[in-house]
Amino acid sequence: MKRPDPLPLSTRVLRSLAVARMVLVIYAGYKCLQLLGAVTGRNRDADYYDNQHLRSARLIRRTAVRLQGLLIKACQFAGSRADVLPPQYVEVLSELQDRVPPKDFELMRPWIEDQLGRRLDEAFSDIDPMPVAAASLAQVYKAQSKDGRTFAVKVQYPEIERVIATDLANFSFFIKLLAKLEPRFDLRLLLIEVKKYIPLELDFVNEAENARKFAANFDNDPAVIVPIPIPELCCRTVLTMNYIEGIKISDLPALEAAGIDKHEVAELLTHTYIWQILVHGFFHGDPHPGNLLVRPGPQLVLLDLGLAKEFTPQLRAGIVKLTRAIVMSDAPSIGEAFRELGFETRTGSDDTFLTLAEVVLGQALKARKAYADMSMVERMSKELMAALRENPIVRASSDLLLVLRVMGLLSGIGKQLDSKVDPMSAMLPFLDTTA
C-alpha cells in the first residue's frame, strides 16, 4: 500500500515551529528557576519546581491537543511514567490516554459510512454520537447491533495518516540533523522503530487479527479478557468489537470503590505480561493505562492491540536466555545473549550491555521491586549515558527495543498501583536457571 503524502510544506513548518516554541518556553522556564534558585537557595526545597512542572505539562497538553498526531502518542507514554516523571506531568498528560477532545460526530458520520461502505442505520440499530473514548489515532463509539448486542466502534480520524506522515518527516529532519551535530545523541535507530510500528497501529485489520490471537492465547485464563472483532463491521480504518465495561487501571479511587485490590491488579498485570513475553512469545506493545481496564475478580481487559509483536521461537529463546542471565547475574552470558539478539557495540566489548541489563532489569531484581523509583532511575540513567558515550550501541534488535518500551510502561503503572510484586519470584517459574 502506498504511504500517504505529508501535509503541505507550510503546515509542516507551522507544526515544527509550534513544537520548537513549546520546547523553548519550557526550557527557559526551568533555566530561569534554576538560576534564581541558585541565588536564593530555594532550589533545595522539595516543592521548588512544582508550579513549573504543572505549567510545562499544561503547555505540552495544549500543544498536543492542537497538533494531534505523534505528539499525543508521546504524551500518552510520558503520562504513564509515574516512576520517572513528577506527578504533575503524570496527572496532566495521562488525560490524553483516552480523553483527547473528540471530533464532531457530524464530521465522523460520513467518514464511517464511506469506510464501511454502508449507512450507519444499516450497520447498527443505534450509535451514540458522543464517543466513550478519544485518543491519538482514533475515537470509540458505543453502538447497538440489530440483534441487541452492544458494540464498541473504533474509528480512525480522517487525515490522521497524513498528520502522522508529516510528523515523521519533521522528526526525521531534526533527528538526522542532531546526529550530525551531536553524534553521541544519534536517535536514528529509534526513528526507524517508530516508522516500523506506527503503520501497524493505523491498520485495524491487523489489530483485529492481533485481538483474535490474544483471545486464543488466553482462552483458558478467565482473568484476561480481549474484545472480539465483528468481521463484517471491520475494515482498515474502522474496528467493531464487543463492548466491555471496565475501570481504567490507573483510576485508584474507582478501583477502591469497586472493592478491587490494587495490589492484586498489579500482580495480575505482571504475570499477564510475563506470560505474553516469556511463554506466548506474542505481546501487547502499548500497555499505557488508557489501554488497560480492570473488572472485579480482578480481571484485566487488553485494549488497542494494533501494536503487538510475535517472536520467532529462536528469538523467544534468546529473550529467555537474556532474562535468565540477568537473574543469575551471569555477566558473560548477558553479553553473549545481547549479541545473539542482534546487538553490537562500537568496540565489541560487553560493558555497555552489562550497564543496560542493570538498568532494564538488574536494579529491580536487586531491590525486589516491580518499578523503579526516581533516585534509582537518575543514578542508572547517568551510568547508562556514560557507558553509551564511551562505547555506544551501533546495532540493536528492534524486537527487544519494543520489550524495553513495554517494561518502561509497566514500571510506571506499577508505581501508580504501589505494586508489591517481587520480580525475581514472579519470573523464576518461567526460567530454567539450571541451564
DSSP structural state of residue 344: E
Identify whether the C-beta of residue 360 lies closer than 8 Å to the C-beta of residue 379: no
**CA 257, CA 285: separation in Å to the nearest integer?**
29
Residues in the chain: 435
**CA 75, CA 83: separation in Å to the nearest integer?**
15
Q: Is 275 exposed, middle or buried (0-12, 13-18, 19+ CB in 10 A)?
A: middle
Identify whether the C-beta of residue 85 lies closer than 8 Å to the C-beta of residue 179: no
Half-sphere exposure of 370 (CA within 13 A, CB side): 27
The cell numbers describing 344, all together, are: 553490537
> What sign does the dihedral 275-281-284-287 (CA atoms) show?
positive
**CA 172, CA 250: separation in Å to the nearest integer?**
33
> What percentage of the chain's residues is helix, strand, coil (to nearest 5)?
60, 10, 30
Q: Are strands 133-134 and 150-156 parallel, antiparallel or unpaired?
A: unpaired
**CA 178, CA 169: separation in Å to the nearest integer?**
14
**Choosing from 186, 286, 304, 350, which is the catalytic residue?**
286
Neighbour-count burial for 173-182, b at 16+ CB within 10 Å, e otherwise? eebeeebeee
Nearest in space to 306 (alpha carbons), one of 425, 388, 197, 422: 197
Q: Which residues pair with 138 in a beta bridge?
A: 156
* Side chain identity at residue 43, one-letter code: N
Q: Is 286 a catalytic residue?
A: yes
Rounded to 5 degrees, φ, ψ at 316 are -60, -40
Q: Which residues pair with 247 in a beta bridge?
A: 294
Identify whether the C-beta of residue 408 lies closer than 8 Å to the C-beta of residue 256: no
Any idea which residues carry the catalytic annotation? 286
